[in-house]
Chains A and B, each alone.
Chain A
Amino acid sequence: MAKKSVYMDYNATTPLHPAVKEEMVRSFDLFANASSMHEPGRSARNRVEHVRQQVAAYIGAQPDEIVFTGGGSESNNTVIKMFTCPGCDEHCVHNDRNEIITSAIEHPSVIEAVEYMESMGKKVHFLPVDSTGKISTNAMKKVISERTGLVTVMLANNEIGTLQDVRAIADLAHASGALVHTDAVQAVGRIPVNVDELGVDYLSFSGHKFYAPKGIGVLYSRRTKPFCRFLHGGHQQAGRRAGTTNTLCIIGMGKALEMVVKESEKTNARVKTLRDRLASGLADLVPDIHVNGNLDSGLSNTLNVSFIGAEGEAILLYLDMEGIAVSTGSACSSGSLEPSHVLLATGVGPELAHGSIRFSLGRESTDEDVDYVLEKLPPIMQRVRKMSTVYEGGCR
C-alpha cells in the first residue's frame, strides 16, 4: 500500500467537522462584541445565546448554568480553584471543608490543580483504580467525610478510555454534603452526557474533542450550587467569566454539537467496529501485546496497547515516518523519566507503560486506515524488538 496519512489521535484533538468549518467561515465577519448594546453586538449576542441554549439542552441543563470558557483545562481549574476562595460573596463556595477527593488517573489539568490546592493547605485524596482504570467506591467510602469539600472525577479517561460510574460517586459525595465535579472532556460527543443523570454539580468539556475548534470549552455550574469566578474583570456571562466572548468559536461549537446530535450514534457505532477490527488484527499479527483498559466497557474509539519489549517513542516515530499519527505513554515522549501515570495507576508496571501506544479513532477514520496500520505496524514491531535488549531474553 502506498504511503498515506492516517490520523489515529482523536483523543488528543479532532479535525473540524466540514459543517463546522463552513458555518464558521460564513460567520467570520461577525466581529462585533457580543456585550455591546448596538445592533451588531446584539446580533453576535443572539448567536452566542442560541448556542448556550443548545449546549444546555444537550446536557440536560438550563442556559444560565452554562459558562463558555477557553477549554477543558480552564473549566477544570475554575472549579477546583473555587475552593481557595476566602469568601467573595454570599453565594461563594467558601466553607470550612478542607479536603478534595479525586482519582489517580485524572488529566494533568485536574491533578496539577489539586496539587496546587495542596500547596494552599488543602488535603487531597487520590483514589486508586483497578486494572481497567475503574475507581472503587469502597476506596472512596474510606476517605469521604464531612471534611470533604469537592469530589472531582473524570467521566472518560483520555489514555485508556475507562468510563467511571460518576453517578454512584456523586451520590456518595452528596450524602456527605460535598460538591461534585466531573471532567467530561473525552466523553461529550462519544457517549450521552446528562448532568442530572450523572448527578453532578459541575461539569467540564471542550469543543475540540468533538470536531469544534480549539480554544472553546464549557463549564456547567448547577444553579443551586455556589460559584466563584476564576477570571475577574468584566460582566460577561453574568459575571462568571470575564473576557470578550469568543463568538466565532462558540458558533463553531454550536454547529459541532448539532452534528453530534445528528450523526454521533451512527459514527460511534462505525468507529467502534473499526477500533475492534484494529484490536483483533493487532492481536492476530503482533505477538506479546497487552491491551490496557477494557475494550468492552470503555470508550469505543480508544485502543491502548502495550508492546512487550519495545519502547513507545521509538514505535511512535517509526509509525510517524509511515504517516501514522498516534500517541504514547512512554516517559521519553513526555520529557520526564516517569511513564504514564494512568497506566502505572492501573498496575501494569513501568515496562509496559513505556511500551504503550494509544490509537484513538474518529469520524474520518476508515477501513483503509485500519488496513494500513495493520500492514505497517507488524514489521515495525519486528524491527524494534529485533534491536531490543529485553525482547528475546527478558520478557519472552
Chain B
Amino acid sequence: MKWRQVLAAWVGGMGVVGLAAVSAAQSNPVLEITPDRARSFRAAVQLFAQPVAASPESESEFESGPGGPSPVPLAPAQLEELRRAIEEGLEFSSVVLPLSRDAYLVSQVSESIQGGPRTVCPEWSQSGAEAWVEGEIRKRPTGIAVAYQVWDSARCTRLEAETVDGRVTNLRRLGQRIADRVVAALTGRAGASETELAFVSTRTGQTEIFVMDADGNRARSATRSPALKSFPAWLPRGGALLYTAFQSSGVPALFLTSRGGVRPGPFLRRTLAGRPKYRGVFSPQGDWVAIVSSVAGEAEIFRVRPAGKDLKRLTQSSAIEVSPSWSPDGRQIAFVSDRSGAPQIYIMDADGGNVRRVTFQGSYNTSPAWSPDGRWIAYETRLEGHIDIWMVDPTGEVNVPLVAHPRDDEGPTWSPDGRKIAFSSNRRGRADIYRIDIDGRNLVRMTKDSGQNTQPAWSPYPRLEDD
C-alpha cells in the first residue's frame, strides 16, 4: 500500500492524503468543464490612500494651494480623478471592467498597502470582482509616485505590485498606465488605453496629420503646412511619425514630424531621388523602411535601411503594388497588387521572395493591416458597392467580416494589444475615425470635430521612459 501514499504525495503535493481519497480519485471520472459564455473580468478600483509621513511637517493641515508644504500630494478630488482614470482605462480594455461602486462590500478606500495577506478577499469575491486594485500616493521631489497592487480575490494572492512615477497634472495618463497593467496582470497582455492614434484631418482647412489619445481626447495637430499630407505611420519606438507630403513640385516625398524627439523634416531624401515616394512604413523592428515608389509609371514596393542604405526593389511585376504592411516579426510583408487584374492582398518575404496570394473572394481587396499577434490581416473589401473591413488569416483559409455597413469603412489599423481595430467611416456623412473590438463589440466613434478624418494609424505601446 505504500506506493499509494507515494502516489498521493506525488500527485497532490498536499501532504497527507487519506487512502480512501486516493482510491476515490482513481475511480472518479474527470470532471470536464467548458465555459458556457464569455464574460469580462471585473476589477474593483479603490480610492488610493495617502499615508501621512511621520515628519514634523505632517502636523500641518492639508493644503491644496501652492506654496506651503503639504503632507499629502493630492486633493480629494484628484484622488477621485485618478480612480476614475483607472476605471475608464479598464472600461477601454473591454476585458477587465471596473466593478460598479454600488457593488462594494468593503471600504472604497485602500488601507495601507504594506503588509501581508488580506482578510477582505471573500468580500471582494462576493462583490463579483475577480481582482481589486489598491494603492497609495507618495510625494516625490518632482511629482508623485503611485504604488499600486493588483489582488486576485478568489485566490487571495497579489498579482502585481508596482510603482509608477508621474505628475499631478497628468493623473489621467497615470491612471491609464495602471489600468493597462491591471489588464496584463489578469490576462498576460497589457491594455492599450495609454496609446495614441494618428490620422489625417481636414478640420483646419488644410490636410494635416493629427494625433489623439486612444480614448478620443486631446486631438492635436502634428503638422502645420499647406502641403497635402497622407499615410501617417508611427516609428516603432513611438512618439514620432513618418508621413507623405506632396511638395510644391507635385512629387510626393517622405517626412518626419517634429514630435517624438526625432529631427523633423524630409526623410530618405536621397533615396529614389527624383521619383515619387507615395508611402513609407517602418518595419516593427525599425531596421527597414518599406517604400512605395514608381517604376515606369507603376507603383512598386522597395525596402531600404532608415539611413538610406541597401535599397532593394521587392516587387517585380508590371502591375501596381502598394500598401505594404509588415508582419510583427518583420519577416514578411503583406501588400496589394492588381497583377491578377483586380487589387488583391498578397504576402511576400521581406526580401521580395515567396509571393503568395491571400484573398480570393471579390474583386477589390486593399489596405492590409497585419495584427500584432500575427494571426490576422485586416483589410478593406468592396461588397455590393460599399467598402467593408474583413479579416483573413495569413494562409488565406479563414476569412471573416469585422465591420459591415452600407457606407464605406476604410483604412483598418490595429491597437498594439491586438484587441481593437480603428478605421474611418463615412456612415454619418463626413468621415470619422471609429474603433471596434475584434469580436465586433463596442463600436465607438473617436473623432468628434469637423472635417474629414481618415487614415488612422494606431501607435505602438508607450515606452515607459517617455515621461
Is the A/B pair a real complex? no
B residues apposed to A, CB below 8 Å: none
